[in-house]
Amino acid sequence: MAAESGRSQLAPSTVYRFVMGVDSEPTVMAQSQLDSLADPMGVLLRQGKFPLTVHDLLAEVDAAGMLPLQRSYLAGEAGQIPLTETGSLQRDLRFAVTRARAANADLLISTSAVGDPAAMFLQVMGWDETAGQFNYYMRLDHTWVWAGDSYSALAPESRGQGCFDSHVNGSLVMKEFKQPWLHWQSMNATILLAPDDPLRDNPLYQSLSGAEDFELTVRAGVSRWTAARLKHAVTPDGRVADLDRLLRQLCTTTTVNLASSVTASSAVVRSPATPLTLPLGLWLNVDSLLDDLGLPARFVPPSVPGQLYLDSLVRYDFALVEGEFRRPGDAFFAFVVPEAAFEDIEVVNQLVRRKMISAHFAASVLMVDFPNPVFSPARGKLLAYVPTAATLDPAGGVSQQVADVIVEAAGSLSADSPEAQFAANWRLADADWRDVFVDRIQNYMNAVTARIGTDQGFDDYVRLAESRRREFKSSRLNEFTLTLPVTNIPPDAPLLQLNEDGTIRQKPANQP
């Protein structure tokens, strides 16, 4: 590896730093910085412990007497493909391992579940309670490299670089975050292994927990980092630094989670008359609007006759493809789509809870182009009006200040501009805005429900979902070829968006 990359071999038992975008190559970490690493991994390294496999690392954690509670989890994009069909396919199974003192995990390990543990990737996140951040580490050659901390993910020079291409906002990552946790071993799916697979003898496999438990850990970890980040962002006199970095998680899609139906695609094949309920995240940001902001909208989750779904798989030639491997059909669970990421949702939730923005302000932004909960250029445009810093006022944090700028801009723009839509939302009286937004959501969902059972309507939604998957595939978060199915829709086909009347439209070509 070292020779291939053109760099020299790292010295063993030496802590290096290598923050992509900041450092041009690994350099030995200065003692003063090493002394500041207070997370569990940093503590081990400071004690001169350099475990080079996951089992050695866990043994060192045991020996240190810290973090006694261990959980392990398993994921793999090919994990549900029957072994009789995989042929030479690399199954690429991965462990996530957590260690905790109590409820919240302080050490998180990601490593390959196959191959030589001394040669396969080994990455670690450690929570530093004092600094209020995660530190990121990777084993390189025969030693450990500090790859940055949570704030490195936010800094322009290192944002999106190295490990922060997936840890986009400096937190934990679990792409398939909700039930049925596509690609994870869970209470909904068991990853298939041959009877003689050596993984069966691995203690981490023998003690596996389901993804339903890892979701809780990730949720808590994201919340913990978000809380620390927001606390750190406000000075004692109420000045908020990097406000634009915070509100980009309200206005834009910094990353996504992958949602799917809870129904296995094979189950639809067996029972085509059974309705297939599509993931709610396809339609709107339910978590922010209904859960966190508490809009009491009521509707029945839209579903489609299974046969329509099956017809669409044939029409668009759905398949899982990697190299020479091709398996016709959808992913293991039906109808996978990108949805609003929990790490964005949680920032908005905590901004509101800490009164840094008002619920009305957050809802006024989120209700702009709300049928497109991800990849919305309209909402993204509003970020341009957010200053880099502002001072909180007791009434609504920074809401009024930012809203005033947008409303002023709206005065010279058309009524359908994002600015004007926001202004209309913002002008609603405190006593009215919730009811108005609930009506709009319910009318929209009624329109979707009316269309989804028709051939044309469902076909539109199949193509919309594929369009959103293509947008996801263009991101660095798309690490594995088998994450999503492919179709015969050309990669350069126009991207699509949903309208509030349940119809779809082409996304303007010049809008990301």
Partner 1 sequence: MVISRFDPPGGLTDLDETGLEQWSAFISAGVDAAIAGRTDHTNDAPRAQFYNLTKTDTAEDATSQDISWIAFPRQVKVSSVSDRQRWTRADSSRDLQDEYCEWSVTRRPDGKITRVTFTCEGPEYWQLLAQTQPDTLLELYQQHVDPAVQHGDLFDASGSYIPRNNRNSGTTNGAMHLIQAANTLSAEIELVAAASNVRLIDGRELTGEQELIDCGRYGAPQRNSDPHIGGVVNSIARLKADLALSNPVGLYIDDLSTAGWDTPNGSDAKSYWTYVRGDDGHPVRAVYEVPAELEFVVGDIVIDGNPIEFGAQIADFISIKAIAVACRFGQSTVAPMTACVGDIEGLAAAFSATQLRSRLI
Nearer to partner 1, 186 or 467 (CB): 186
Q: In whole angstroms, what is the distance from residue 201 CA to residue 427 CA?
A: 63
Asked if 212 interacts with partner 1 (CB under 8 A), we say: yes
Give the footprint of partner 1 on residues 248-277 (CB under 8 A): 262-264, 266-267, 270-271, 277
**At closest approach, how far in Å is the CB of 69 from partner 1?**
10
**At closest approach, how far in Å is the CB of 85 from partner 1?**
9
For partner 1, what does the binding mask look like between residues 304 and 343, x meaning CB under 8 A? Answer: ----------------------------x-----------
Nearer to partner 1, 192 or 199 (CB): 192
- Record the tokens describing residue 56, joined without a space: 């050695």
Nearer to partner 1, 141 or 344 (CB): 344
Nearer to partner 1, 104 or 475 (CB): 104
Determine the interface stretch with partner 1 among 117-125, 185-193, 391-399, 474-482 (rule: CB under 8 A): 185-193
Torsion of CA 360, 366, 367, 372, to 10 degrees: -170
Q: Give, in order, the Cα–Cα distances in Å from 280 to each of 8, 181, 336, 372.
A: 50, 15, 11, 12
Decide if 463 contacts 505 (C-beta within 8 A): no
For partner 1, what does the binding mask look like between residues 65 and 104, x meaning CB under 8 A? Answer: ---------------x-x-x-----------------xxx
**At closest approach, how far in Å is the CB of 150 from partner 1?**
18
Q: Give, in order, the Cα–Cα distances in Å from 138 to each of 41, 62, 178, 329.
A: 11, 20, 27, 36
Q: How many residues bind partner 1 (CB under 8 A)?
A: 46
Give the footprint of partner 1 on residues 445-474 (CB under 8 A): none
- Axis-axis angle for helices 455-473, 433-452 (nearest 10): 110
| Distant-in-sequence contacts of 474-480, Cβ < 8 A, 24+ apart | 475/255, 475/256, 476/160, 476/165, 476/166, 477/165, 477/166, 477/168, 477/175, 477/255, 477/256, 479/166, 480/77, 480/92
Q: In whole angstroms, what is the distance from residue 205 CA to residue 166 CA?
A: 25
Q: In whole angstroms, what is the distance from residue 129 CA to residue 146 CA?
A: 17
Supply φ then ψ for residue 306, to 5 degrees.
Answer: -55, -35
Give the footprint of partner 1 on residues 349-388 (CB under 8 A): 349-350, 353
Nearer to partner 1, 26 or 279 (CB): 279
Binding-site ranges for partner 1 (CB under 8 A) = 80, 82, 84, 102-105, 179, 187-190, 192, 195, 210, 212-213, 216-217, 219-220, 223-224, 262-264, 266-267, 270-271, 277, 280, 286, 290-291, 294, 296-301, 332, 349-350, 353
